[in-house]
Structure 1
Amino acid sequence: MKKEGKSCIALFASGSGSNVQAIAEAVQTGEIPAHIALLVCDQPDAYVIKRAEQLNIPVFSFRAKEYASKAEFEQEIVHRLREAGVDFIFLAGYMRLIGETLLHAYRGKIVNIHPSLLPAFPGKDAIGQAFNAQVKIAGVTVHFVDEGMDTGPIIDQESVRMAEDETRESLQRKIQEVEHELYPRVIKKLLTEAVMEGITE
């Protein structure tokens, strides 16, 4: 649902939500032409929910184990997304694979950020994987979501050089700094193009 030339978006997260904060701040300043209609969180105790409340973002939180299947809780999510008029979904530390139900409803409109230069180090703890592999270059990838684990088409990437005295913690800080700049920039570009296409169709 477009609102005064703005896309309606949902953010998905499972943890502290630093990327949610960065995106929300870019929305507030007008850098990102969007309205955040919903935060979806699969961990009702996650700190990101407090962030959302402070930012006046509506929240749907759930526990997967309380549903009979992935399809069942994704049907509930899709219902809430459609009710809120959501156009695009941006995963910001959401630690679940997106299933068929959500993919079918929002194919081509679900985007994820991953803390590695994909296809290197997909899956969990990508920063730890890169650090343990002692690579010289780590990084961040923004990509569309498909059925696989971090396998969708890449939209943009940015590298992070590993220092000789790098620690796991210092690498994570450097990668998060890049994420907080790259993701809002990519989201702005995607949504600006989407609104323009909507105007010209």
Structure 2
Amino acid sequence: MENLTPSFISPQVSSEDLKLETPLKLGILASGSGTNFEAIADAIKQQELNAKIPLLIYNNPQAKVQEKAAAFNIESKLLNHRHFKRREDLDQAIVDLFKSYNINWVIMAGWMRIVTPVLLGAFPNHVINIHPSLLPSFKGIKAVEQALEAGVKITGCTVHLASLEVDSGPILLQAAVPILQDDTPETLHARIQIQEHKIFPLAIALAAKKYP
């Protein structure tokens, strides 16, 4: 069985683990530049992940992710969170849109909003998040800066099922990233992102196997 992941990614993933008979229908949530969205879309294009992305939803009108979606000919819609009085109202709008596109997995690819039971209840065990630390360490914002301030020697990234508690939920896949003596938040975050782009498509396939 061919092993597809180096030792610093856990669990180890084989080609057999990633075979999906039925294409997944992914609804992507993103707030920023969209590098993780791009990694997922590229994995689909390269036939490494058996999935489709019918719709991207973004909440920041200036988000560069909309340009990346256009480059992949993927439809995108803006749901500006500032136009909703409550988090639950935003999540309901997300649910309504994703359901209308027959989405079966929700992927938070740099989604900078706290989710509510409205979204999680509509897609039970089918909402996936990525975070730039080895959870449960360094939850919340500025995880890279937290790791540097703590003086740890290894950090990384985690893909997990989303839960009501921020940056919690069952862990799907993690990748370790050593911290170098001269690292800054920018240099460390750049190396973490390289691993994020590797493990996110893998984790989506693993989740689909574990939570069909």
Normalising by structure 2, what TM-score?
A: 0.86
Deviation at 1:25, TM superposition (A): 0.2
Aligned match of 1:134: 151
Structure 2: gaps of 5 or more residues:
1-20
Aligned match of 1:22: 39
Structure with the higher fraction of residues in helix conformation: 1
Aligned match of 2:56: 39
Task: Give the alignment of 1:70-109 within 5 angstroms.
Answer: 70-109=87-126
Q: Is the 8 A contact 1:31 1:188 kept in 2?
A: no
Inter-partner Cα distance in structure 2 for 1:150 and 1:189 = 19
Aligned match of 1:68: 85
Aligned match of 2:181: 164
Residue identity opposite 2:25 in structure 1: C
Deviation at 1:191, TM superposition (A): 3.1
**Per the alignment, in what secondary structure is the counterpart of residue 138 of structure 1?**
strand
Question: How many residues were matched structurally?
Answer: 192
Matched, 1:7 2:24: yes
Q: After the TM superposition, which parts of structure 1 deviate over 4 Å for at least 4 consecutive aligned residues?
A: none
Q: Is the 8 A contact 2:106 2:127 kept in 1?
A: yes
**Per-residue CA shift, 1:5-60, capped at 9, x if unaligned?**
21111111100010000000001111110010111111121001111111111112
Residue identity opposite 1:126 in structure 2: A
Q: Is the 8 A contact 1:22 1:184 kept in 2?
A: yes
Deviation at 1:192, TM superposition (A): 5.0
Aligned match of 1:143: 160
Residue identity opposite 1:169 in structure 2: E
Aligned match of 2:203: 186
Aligned match of 2:70: 53
Residue identity opposite 1:70 in structure 2: R
Aligned match of 1:154: 171
**Per-residue CA shift, 1:141-195, capped at 9, x if unaligned?**
111001011111111111111112222221111100000101111112333566x
Query: How well do the aligned residues superpose, as a CA RMSD in angstroms?
Result: 1.4
Inter-partner Cα distance in structure 2 for 1:153 and 1:192 = 14
Q: Is the 8 A contact 1:123 1:150 kept in 2?
A: yes
Structure 1: gaps of 5 or more residues:
none
Q: Is the 8 A contact 2:172 2:207 kept in 1?
A: no
**Per the alignment, in what secondary structure is the counterpart of residue 151 of structure 1?**
coil
Inter-partner Cα distance in structure 1 for 2:85 and 2:129 = 26
**Per the alignment, in what secondary structure is the counterpart of residue 146 of structure 2?**
helix
Aligned match of 2:127: 110
Using the aligned pairs only, state the percent identity: 36
